Amino acid sequence: MKVFKFGGASVKDAAGVRNVAKILGMYKDENILTVVSAMGKTTNMLEKVAEAFYHKNADVAEQIEPIRNYHLAIMNELFSNKNHPVFDIINNVFAELEWATDGEPTKSYDFEYDQIVSIGEVIATRIVSAYLNETGLQNLWLDARDYISTDDTWRNAAVNWELTENNVQQNLVPLFSKSKTKLAITQGFIGVTSENYTTTLGREGSDFTAAIFAHTLPASDVTIWKDVPGVLNADPKWFDDTVLLDKISYRDAIELAWFGTSVIHPKTIQPLQNKNIPLYVKSFIEPDKSGTIVSNTENPQQIPSFIYRMNQVLISIMSKDFSFIVEKNLMEIFKSFSEAGIKINIMQNTAISFSVSVDDDKYKIPVLIALLQKDFKVAYNSGLELITVRNYNHQTIERVTINTEVLLELKSRKTVQMLVKNLG
Ligand code: ASP
Ligand code: MG
């Protein structure tokens, strides 16, 4: 059994959906569980619906309309029969979205966010599944919430592995072994609490969903289909001489993903590594090409990889009375980060200061600053870039720091990280 994952870019329009069908057609004889995420930029659009509903900064119906039109246009292109049941199905999903955003919010923003934003994957999978059935690729549409159990950490839910494994073993495995099902389509990114509320696993979390299914089935391998040929040593947005890494270790993959390579979600690697399940990263544009394989290999190639994280904020935390920043205040500082839900990308300490760089977030940063200011002096500097080079050498560092001011630098044997201000 294989697990495939198609992201939003692969199904952003009717041609994309047809292309997914073509790729699945190439694997007709295999048992495949296919995870699909929301089409194109739907998740961003649904985030605006959630904001409009909760913060009342815009009209909810006005935010929903373009999402409906976008999907209807895709369906109109895919289904010539306008009485096809998929139109009713999608209509009902939009009715659910309208109910979810009717009246006043009852719980936290993060709770409402999950109920609203999760709908993007439901719509996408309904359309893709119906189209595949229509074109002769018989498949089952599965609700990922019947399998992926989580806690109620809204927007960043933690998987209940034991329950999920039970669900998968008892209810999903038999679908493939007992019936004629060879292909199933399900959502990435979403899960369910024990109270039956929808959760999400964090932005771009569909890769992680593929890994969860792969781990619990267990699958023979996972393929993430991307708009790039595989894992490159740099983002082609910034470099024109990128190199495809055809074979990388789980260790390198998890480090690259953690530092910010957007090709693989960082949570994807652990569930696969734990069961020694290989991960392929392949191009949905050139599906015959071999792409990258992430597996339990020693890394013979030491090609430098470059990762840029934009929109960084440098936060410097100092004691108010010139006392040392030591373990006791560090404990307080870390607690504030954890409470504000902010991930530290790089950190450094001196006698009386502690500096970190984090992703900019207009909601979370002010909460963090307020928490820290209770006990510390806080300074911050935004609009910075964090550059990570794995397998670095002298020239690579020079290459990336041209025209920049380096504010923080951290080096280990394999990796250098530099927080820079771009002067160019
Ligand atoms: N649709 C979700 C997002 O855009 C999940 C994913 O694409 O992986 O964040
Ligand atoms: Mg996406």
Give dist(CA 401, CA 421) in Å, integer.
10
Asked whether residue 50 falls in the same domain as residue 155, the answer is yes
Distance CA 133, CA 136 (A): 5
How far is the C-alpha of 322 from the C-alpha of 332, rounded, in Å? Answer: 17
The 8 Å CB, 24+ separation contacts for 77-83 are 77/13, 77/14, 78/14, 78/17, 78/18, 78/127, 78/131, 78/134, 79/130, 79/131, 79/134
Distance 386 CA to ligand 2 centre (A): 23
Number of domains in the chain: 2
Sign of CA dihedral 420, 236, 212, 203: positive
Indicate if 214 and 321 belong to the same structural domain: no
pLDDT in tens, 140-153: 999 999 999 999 99
Q: For a pocket test of ligand 1, which of 5, 37, 201, 267 has the largest count of ligand atoms closer than 8 A to its C-beta?
A: 37
> What CA–CA distance (Å, rounded) separates 280 from 223?
5
Q: How far is the CA of 6 from the centre of ligand 2 (A)?
A: 9
Q: What are phi and psi of 396, to 5 degrees?
A: -65, -35
CATH number of 412's domain: 3.30.2130.10
Whole-number Cα distances in Å, 153 to 53, 165, 192: 20, 20, 11
Burial environment of residue 69 by CB neighbours within 10 A (0 to 12, 13 to 18, 19 or more): exposed
Domain shared by 49 and 198, yes or no: yes
Given 155, 187, 219, the domain boundary residue is: 219
What protein residues have CB closer than 5 angstroms to ion ligand 2?
Answer: 8, 37
- Asked, for residue 380, whether it belongs to a domain, the answer is yes
Look at residue 166 and tell me if it is in a domain.
yes
**pLDDT of amino acid 408:** 95
Same domain, residue pair 194 and 313: no
Q: Are residues 30 and 168 in the same domain?
A: yes
Q: Specify the ligand 1 atom closest to the Cα of 206.
A: 8
CA distance 6 to 188: 9
- Rounded CA separation 90/141 (Å): 14
Query: How far apart are the CA of 90 and the centre of ligand 2, in A?
Result: 20
Query: Of the residues 219, 234, 250, which one is the last residue of a structural domain?
Result: 219
Tell me whether residue 207 is in a domain. Answer: yes
Q: Which atom of ligand 1 is closest in space to residue 204's alpha carbon? A: 8
Q: Residues lining ligand 1, judged by CB closer than 6 Å? A: 7-8, 37-38, 43, 120, 188-189, 203-206
Q: To test ligand 1's pocket by mutation, which of 206, 212, 227, 263 has the most ligand atoms within 8 angstroms of CB?
A: 206
Atom of ligand 1 nearest to the CA of 120: 1
Query: 48, 13 in Cβ contact below 8 A?
Result: no
Boundary (domain end) residue, out of 199, 219, 239: 219
Regarding whether 54 and 202 lie in a shared domain, the answer is: yes
H-assigned helices in 155-226: 161-167, 173-178, 206-216
Q: Which ligand is nearest to the CA of 210?
A: 1
Closest CA to 43 of 11, 91, 5: 11
Query: Same structural domain for residues 215 and 88?
Result: yes
Instruction: Tell me if 263 is assigned to some domain.
Output: no
User: What pLDDT is attached to residue 261?
Assistant: 81
Which CATH number does the domain housing residue 82 bear? 3.40.1160.10
Q: Phi first, then psi: give them for residue 46, nearest 5 degrees.
A: -70, -30
Residue nearest to atom 2 of ligand 1 (CA): 204
Residue 266 belongs to some domain of the structure: no
For residue 288, being part of any structural domain is answered with no
Give the C-alpha separation, 326 to 354, whole Å.
Answer: 9
| Per-residue model confidence (pLDDT) at position 258 | 86
CA 370 to chain centre: 29
For residues 181 and 87, state if they share a domain: yes
Ligand nearest to the CA of 47: 1
In a domain, 161, yes or no: yes
Judgement on whether residues 28 and 126 belong to the same structural domain of the protein: yes
- Within a 10 A sphere around the Cβ of 25, how many other Cβ atoms? 12
- Listed as ranges, residues in the chain with pLDDT below 70 are 179, 299-300
Supply the range of the domain harboring residue 168.
2-219
Nearest of 338, 380, 389 to residue 360 by alpha carbon: 380
Q: Separation of 88 CA from ligand 1 center, angstroms?
A: 25
Spell out where 298-367 has E strands.
Answer: 305-319, 346-349, 353-359
- The candidate with the shortest Cα–Cα distance to 206, out of 124, 273, 133, is 124
Q: Do 327 and 212 share a structural domain? A: no
This prediction's pTM: 0.91
* pLDDT 10s digits, 68-83: 999 999 999 999 999 9
Domain membership flag for residue 242 = no
Task: Specify whether 215 is located in the same domain as 309.
Answer: no
Please list the helix, strand and coil fractions of the chain in percent, rounded to the nearest 5, in that order.
40, 25, 35
Cα–ligand 2 centroid distance for 312 (angstroms): 21
Residues 337 and 206 in one domain: no
- Is the CB of residue 215 less than 8 Å from the CB of residue 223? no
Residue nearest to atom 7 of ligand 1 (CA): 204
